[in-house]
């Protein structure tokens, strides 16, 4: 039994050692996404079998939030996945927010630029996701992905989602329709703070010295 246990430990140790790799990493700062200063680390990992894989990590320099890719044979795939993971989870530099007066209530709105799919990263297609929170209860509604051109309807959809979770009748005004004259006044501050939708370059730390 002791011999079998020793053999098992040796096998596990060898397996772990065989998966080890020597990593060489490069760092850069990326400001292509409006409002964001991103710290990007790209690492090439060369295994004992001389196979190279790549991993990219993207961090928000302002709040320290990070997201990483898996290990890929192709460095562009790693960069795209890290970019997608970061923007699909981040609610920091890629977001703008403001208070929304809504009758007797105050709602807190946030509009975040992100990439809904890996294909959107490849095509540099930034979409918007809206969040609207009832400041009194902390309940939040959301809507997205929304095309920038349809921002008003997207923000309205987030308010409706919030209303489904916590009725806003207490605020003393009805939920506006898309063509309501009240809608611009309610959403003007939030829509005015939309993240820019200019295309951004996919992070490529491997091109940095």
Least confident of 8-17, 32-41, 90-99, 174-183: 8-17
CA–CA dist 110, 209 (Å, integer): 37
Is 204 exposed, middle or buried (CB count within 10 Å of its CB: 0-12, 13-18, 19+)? middle
User: Each residue of 20-36: pLDDT tens digit?
Assistant: 566 789 998 988 887 88
Quote the pLDDT of residue 178. Answer: 62
Rg (CA), the chain: 23
Beta strands in 48-176 (DSSP E): 52-60, 66-68, 95-102, 105-114, 127-134, 140-146
Quote the pLDDT of residue 174. Answer: 84
- Please state, for a pLDDT cut of 90, what percent of the chain lies above it: 31
Quote the pLDDT of residue 195. Answer: 58
Beta strand 95-102 pairing with 127-134 = unpaired
Q: Does residue 18 carry a pLDDT above 60?
A: no
CA–CA dist 54, 68 (Å, integer): 11
Q: Does residue 161 carry a pLDDT above 50?
A: yes
Q: Does residue 10 carry a pLDDT above 50?
A: no
Tell me the pLDDT of the chain averaged across its residues.
78
Instruction: Specify the higher pLDDT residue, 6 or 50.
Output: 50
CA–CA dist 154, 122 (Å, integer): 24
Of 60, 77, 52, 59, residue with least CA distance to 68: 59
Q: Does residue 206 carry a pLDDT above 60?
A: no
Output the pTM of the full model. 0.76
User: Each residue of 35-89: pLDDT tens digit?
Assistant: 889 999 999 988 777 788 999 999 999 999 999 999 999 888 999 999 999 999 9
Cα-based angle 110, 116, 117 (whole degrees, multiple of 5): 160
Is 108 exposed, middle or buried (CB count within 10 Å of its CB: 0-12, 13-18, 19+)? middle
DSSP 205: G
Quote the pLDDT of residue 186. Answer: 59
pLDDT band at 190 (very low <50, low <70, confident <90, very high): low
Q: How many residues does the chain have?
A: 209
Q: Where are the domains of the chain?
A: 21-92, 95-192
Contact 195, 94 (CB under 8 A): yes
What separation, in Å, do the N-terminal and C-terminal C-alpha atoms of the chain show?
A: 54
User: Each residue of 96-120: pLDDT tens digit?
Assistant: 888 888 889 988 988 898 899 999 8
Quote the pLDDT of residue 3. Answer: 31
């Amino acid at each position: 039994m002791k011999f079998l246990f020793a053999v098992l430990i040796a096998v596990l140790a060898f397996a772990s050692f065989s998966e080890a790799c020597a990593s060489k990493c490069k760092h850069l700062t990326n400001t292509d996404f409006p409002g964001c200063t991103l710290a990007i680390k790209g690492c090439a990992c060369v295994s004992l079998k001389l196979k190279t894989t790549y991993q990219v990590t993207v961090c928000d320099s302002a709040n320290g939030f990070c997201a990483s890719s898996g290990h890929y044979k192709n460095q562009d795939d790693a960069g795209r996945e890290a970019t997608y993971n970061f923007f699909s989870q981040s609610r920091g530099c890629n977001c703008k927010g403001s208070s929304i007066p809504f009758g007797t209530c105050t709602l807190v709105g946030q509009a975040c630029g992100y990439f809904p799919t890996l294909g959107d990263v490849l095509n540099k297609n930034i979409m918007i996701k809206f969040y609207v929170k009832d400041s009194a209860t902390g309940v939040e509604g959301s809507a997205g992905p929304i095309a920038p051109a349809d921002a008003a309807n997207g923000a309205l959809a987030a308010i409706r989602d919030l209303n489904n979770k916590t009725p806003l009748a207490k605020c003393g005004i009805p939920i506006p329709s898309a063509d309501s004259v009240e809608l611009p006044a309610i959403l003007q501050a939030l829509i005015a703070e939309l993240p820019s939708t200019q295309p951004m370059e996919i992070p490529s730390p491997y091109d940095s010295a």
